[in-house]
Amino acid sequence: MNYRTLGRTGLQVSEIGYGAWGIGKGAWIGASDDESVKALNKAFDFGLNFVDTALVYGDGHSEKLVGKAIRQRSETIYVASKIPPKNYQWPAKRGVPVREAFPADHIIASTEESLKYLGLDTIDVQQFHVWSDEWVGQGDWLDGIQKLKKQGKIRFFGVSINDCQPENAIRLIETGVLDTVQVIHNIFEQAPEDRLFPACEQRQVGVIVRVPFDEGSLTGKITPDTRFDPADFRNRYFRDDRKRQVY
């Protein structure tokens, strides 16, 4: 396994991370909990040491499984989680004030809930699960983040950028308060290379790439005949002629 420094955090993280949305059972159907924990441990055996989860993934179920697997290990495993917007709006709508999405009390309560599910004392990277650069300079969200850092409940702060809006965090990056950015980047989506990645490099903001395999299409295992449970997120993602296009 190869490792990189995650921006100014100084964390030495594996180049391959474990995205734990699929094990939460909220939107991906099929995996058993035992299978999920075994998969996490197998990844750890190969040297993976970075897991990205979220409170909203199965309403804490993903965090429970991640925490269970980590507590079985002796080596250091870094955890990134995410706080859902209080108004549950993805992506953030223009004109909606930040107090409706990330007031300080919601940030603190959500983080404490995640820590309970994980069974850990600290979250290495706590992220907002959505962001709008309209929110820079608004609200009391930064007070909440700083309080959590001071209490030792989180180490670093990041945001997960809206789908297909890679420039919608550049103002926040320029403020200097951000430690990491999470963004979609794969062979289909390369817009972050234009402005976002240079801005992150200039400010030493760590980049966490999500959907590198386009929800599975780039693994080669999605064929025109692949079928998903009607409640599975991928049933909507690979709608119409999408499966044939990526095959």
pLDDT of residue 131: 97
Q: Above 90 in pLDDT, residue 26?
A: no
pLDDT of residue 163: 80
Give dist(CA 218, CA 227) in Å, integer.
16
Portion of the chain with pLDDT greater than 70, in percent: 100
Q: Helix (H, G, I), strand (E, B), or coil: what is residue 199?
A: helix
| CATH code of the domain containing 91 | 3.20.20.100
Q: Above 90 in pLDDT, residue 3?
A: yes
Helix, strand, coil percent content, the chain, rounded in steps of 5: 40, 15, 45
pLDDT tens, 232-243?
A: 989 999 998 889
Mean pLDDT of 219-241: 91
- Same domain (yes/no): 116, 231: no
Contacts with 235 (C-beta within 8 Å, 6 or more apart), sequence order: 228, 229
Q: Above 90 in pLDDT, residue 247?
A: no
Instruction: List, in sequence order, the alpha helices (H) in the chain.
Output: 33-45, 61-71, 104-118, 141-151, 170-175, 196-203, 233-237, 242-246
pLDDT tens, 177-193?
A: 999 999 999 999 999 99
Record the pTM: 0.95
- Same domain (yes/no): 150, 229: no
- Same domain (yes/no): 221, 243: yes
Say if residue 91 is preceded by a cis peptide, omega within 30 of 0. Answer: yes
Q: Helix (H, G, I), strand (E, B), or coil: what is residue 65?
A: helix
- Same domain (yes/no): 160, 147: yes
Q: Above 90 in pLDDT, residue 226?
A: yes
Q: Above 90 in pLDDT, residue 31?
A: no
Highest mean pLDDT, choosing among 9-13, 25-29, 185-189: 9-13
- Same domain (yes/no): 113, 93: yes
Q: Give 204's pLDDT tier (boundaries 50, 70, 90).
A: very high
pLDDT of residue 19: 97
Q: Provide the residue range defining the domain that includes 225.
A: 217-247
- Same domain (yes/no): 156, 224: no
Q: Helix (H, G, I), strand (E, B), or coil: what is residue 159?
A: strand
- Same domain (yes/no): 43, 21: yes
pLDDT tens, 76-129?
A: 999 999 999 999 999 998 999 999 999 999 999 999 999 999 999 999 999 999
- Same domain (yes/no): 28, 143: yes
- Same domain (yes/no): 181, 242: no
- Same domain (yes/no): 95, 204: yes
Give dist(CA 152, CA 165) in Å, integer.
31
pLDDT tens, 119-175?
A: 999 999 999 999 999 999 999 999 999 999 999 999 999 999 988 889 999 999 999
First to last CA, the chain: 29
- Same domain (yes/no): 65, 86: yes
Mean pLDDT of 33-58: 98
- Same domain (yes/no): 231, 196: no
How many structural domains are present in the chain?
Answer: 2
